[in-house]
Amino acid sequence: MGSSAPRRSADPRFGRIITVLAAVAALATAAGTGPGVAHEPDDRLPASVTMDFVPPPPGSYALHAIMRAPDGPVLDRDGRSRPLSRFTSGKITLLGFIYTSCADPRGCPLTSQVFHTVRHRVSEDPELRERVRLVSLSFDPARDTPAVMRHYAAGVPRNGVEWAFLTTELPRTLVPLLDGFGQDVRVELDARGRPAGPLAHVLKVFLIDERAVVREIYTTSYLFTEVILNDIKTLRLEDKMPRRAAP
Amino acid sequence: MRAIRVRETFLGGILGVLALALAAASPAGADETCNSPYMGNLIKGQEDYLYVWALGVKSMGDGADKLVTIDVNPASSRYGKVIHKVSVRGRGEAHHMGFTDDRRFLWAGGLDNSRISIFDVGTDPARPKLVQTIADMPAKTGYVGPHTFYAMPGRMLVQGLSNAKDGGGVTGMALYSNKGELIATYPMPATGGGDGYGYDIAINPQKNALLTSSFTGRKNYMRNLGELVKDAEAMKRFGNTMAVWDLKAMKPKKVLSVPGAPLEIRWSLKDGDTWAITATALTSKLWLIKPDASGEWQAKEVAVIDDPTKIPLPVDISINKDGTGLWVNTFMDGKTRYFDLSNPEQPRQTYERVTGKQVNMISQSWDGTRVYIASSLLANWDKAGADDEQFVRGFHWDGKELKPAFEVDFYKEKLGRAHHMKLGSKAMKSAYGLERTATLR
């Protein structure tokens, strides 16, 4: 496009995330709470919004190519370094950023709850079971070590649907991923400019097709299981048709 | 797609009144209670900054369109003062703005040059910085006059007002990624009762509903108003419709007849409410949009604003956080009016005050106690001579009276014409401003 975009090094989005991650690291040191667990769905968790409509059926609408999913090194729950692309291609992927100490019921726990429900529904569909994966990627590398992520994942039952719990070794390896997805992270500061509260972020869940292209982004206002499932089925129907060019 | 036939005769009756008015108005929209539901980080306490997108005036200062930042925190020593300004290239009829979903960037459009300026307001909210310009919207989409900027997750939905082919009102929406890359275009419905026109966008995710309204094309909105109102054929070319879209599918479902240029659309933010309201500029009415008992979307005229035969020209509106009250600015008489929306089927005007010789935009804080008003509509539609006041005025609202708090005279400050306003907060800086980068690299 004919826009006058700034040079990469001048992009304030990049530097800002770096500085936020410094605060994240400081918070992780200062805070004393332990990591949570990706537990089973909890009906007591307040749903953020109510879906008051019948979503359009799969294949009746287009999911546009929004952007290519970024790539970079991540750590799996066993501490092995892998490219993120290993987890964003080859299957239809639902990816969300989390941090294990997140307690906001409208944040990471809501994502976890929706992921559990989607995973359960996918597991019951032989057409989808082997073709869909879930990814939870931490944006708190200082606290969410592979061991912590392994503990966090311990509550997830096996049902044949892949759910990867990933983290990164250092903030500098996480930053390009956050920047690439456009995922913000904020931390409140006290009067002296020190980190003084939990991480804050706009909840986003990314639907990624088998070629690592982001096709939909959900937030708290639109994180509806039925919509997500229909979108997954729409991508499956699309895969049976001639392929379009990646962005 | 369902459709309702549009009435087309109302305009003839108002031509004479408009011709006598010498000046008239167009539209606009903004404030903390009308942001996209996808936006995080709403400012629910005291805002610190007011960003004003101002139209440049030839031989005034640098003559360019600019983003002006005003300190609006009463606790600040700089309260009511301009603390920063950043100019863009030339004059392009600066009009509306919208934050990205993460509130880190502010997109601002020019109705004449169709350029979209993207400002970074996250790094230092007190000092916005121009970081990107999208200059190829007409070439890429065929649409011109980027008007409404509506945040969607990771994307920005931009409503055009016109088209590059004939400058008429037939237009569409363009969807961009937050990084400024074009993703898709959506033409406004031009069949089944649709006129193809566009103006505002408003989304209700819970209903999977996107509402659009309609105004007029570039040939009209860039024309001298005095000439325009004498051109009967041109005056027929204003929008008379709203459209209900299937948000997920981004397909129009139904065209609603709302004669007289329905402009800003505001959904009630109260939990459980499923209605929106709009004001028609040329017919001076409030219209309610809601599903009927069978779930079918309907539009219904629910109130008149002053005496429509006098063409008070309602422009911007602002709904309060619980959907019980609505501010309406009427450009011609310079009045700011408050309507009680306790029963949205029967809005009642309960207050009015002259707040300027011409008033267009109105924004309110989340709690409704602070109200900001700006003066300009369009460069060629603003009043002339002594009536051409250009200002931003702040008021306190105690539920009974608007009390002046501060004023910035945009002509005296050589800033141009004050148009759209959005609120800013230091909290954005505390989120992104730590200076520890070096230790992490």
List, for residues A115-125, the tens digit of each pLDDT value.
Answer: 999 999 999 99
Separation CA B217–CA B142 (nearest Å): 13
Q: What is the ipTM of this complex?
A: 0.86
- Residue B104 domain boundaries: 2-440
Interchain pair A22, B436: CB under 8 A = yes
Candidate from A4, A6, A204 with C-beta closest to B154: A204
The whole-model pTM stands at 0.88
DSSP B310-344: G---EEEEEE-TTSSEEEEEETTTTEEEEEE-SST
Going from the C-alpha of B413 to that of each of B85, B127, B424, the distances in angstroms are: 11, 18, 21
CATH of residue B345: 2.130.10.10
Residues forming a β-bridge with B82: B70
Contact B375, B356 (CB under 8 A): yes
Look-up of token digits 């992490």: B440
The total of structural domains in chain B comes to 1
Q: In what order do the strands lie in the sheet with B391-397?
A: B362-364, B370-374, B391-397, B402-409
The pLDDT of B38-56, averaged and rounded, is 93
Q: What share of chain B is helix, strand, coil (3-state, %, to 5)?
A: 10, 40, 45
Strand, coil or helix: B244: strand
Candidate from A18, A61, A247 with C-beta closest to B249: A61
Does the structure show a pLDDT above 80 at A46? no
What's the one-letter identity of residue B393? Answer: R
Nearest CA in chain B to A18: B437
Interface test with B, best of A17, A68, A184 (most B CBs within 10 A): A184
Interface test with A, best of B157, B206, B428, B441 (most A CBs within 10 A): B206
Contact B313, B14 (CB under 8 A): no
Instruction: Say what the pLDDT of residue A40 is.
Output: 39
Contact A217, B40 (CB under 8 A): no
The pLDDT of B73-86, averaged and rounded, is 98
What's the one-letter identity of residue B329? Answer: N
Going from the C-alpha of B422 to that of each of B265, B279, B355, the distances in angstroms are: 17, 21, 19
Instruction: Say what the pLDDT of residue A139 is.
Output: 83
Does the structure show a pLDDT above 80 at B359? yes
Contact A8, A14 (CB under 8 A): yes
List, for residues A227-240, the tens digit of each pLDDT value.
Answer: 999 999 999 999 77
- Distance from the B314 Cα atom to the nearest Cα atom in chain A, whole angstroms: 31
The pLDDT of A44-65, averaged and rounded, is 79
A8-239 falls under which CATH superfamily? Glutaredoxin (3.40.30.10)
Separation CA B55–CA B380 (nearest Å): 11
Instruction: Say what the pLDDT of residue A185 is.
Output: 75
Separation CA B419–CA B333 (nearest Å): 18
Q: Which of B348, B304, B367, B355 is nearest to B331 (CA)?
A: B355
Element (H, E) at A18: helix A12-30
Interface test with B, best of A7, A11, A19 (most B CBs within 10 A): A19
Q: Among A24-33, B125-134, B387-396, name the one with the lowest average pLDDT.
A: A24-33
Handedness of CA A32, A37, A43, A47 (dihedral sign): positive
Q: What share of chain A is helix, strand, coil (3-state, %, to 5)?
A: 30, 20, 50
- How many other C-beta atoms are found inside a 10 Å radius of the C-beta of residue B377? 30
The pLDDT of B81-102, averaged and rounded, is 96
- Distance from the B153 Cα atom to the nearest Cα atom in chain A, whole angstroms: 6
Separation CA B262–CA B277 (nearest Å): 10
Interchain pair A1, B132: CB under 8 A = no
List, for residues B368-382, the tens digit of each pLDDT value.
Answer: 999 999 999 999 999
Q: Among A156-160, B254-258, B297-301, B370-374, name the one with the lowest average pLDDT.
A: A156-160
Interchain pair B132, A5: CB under 8 A = yes
Q: Largest alpha-carbon pair distance within chain A? A: 58
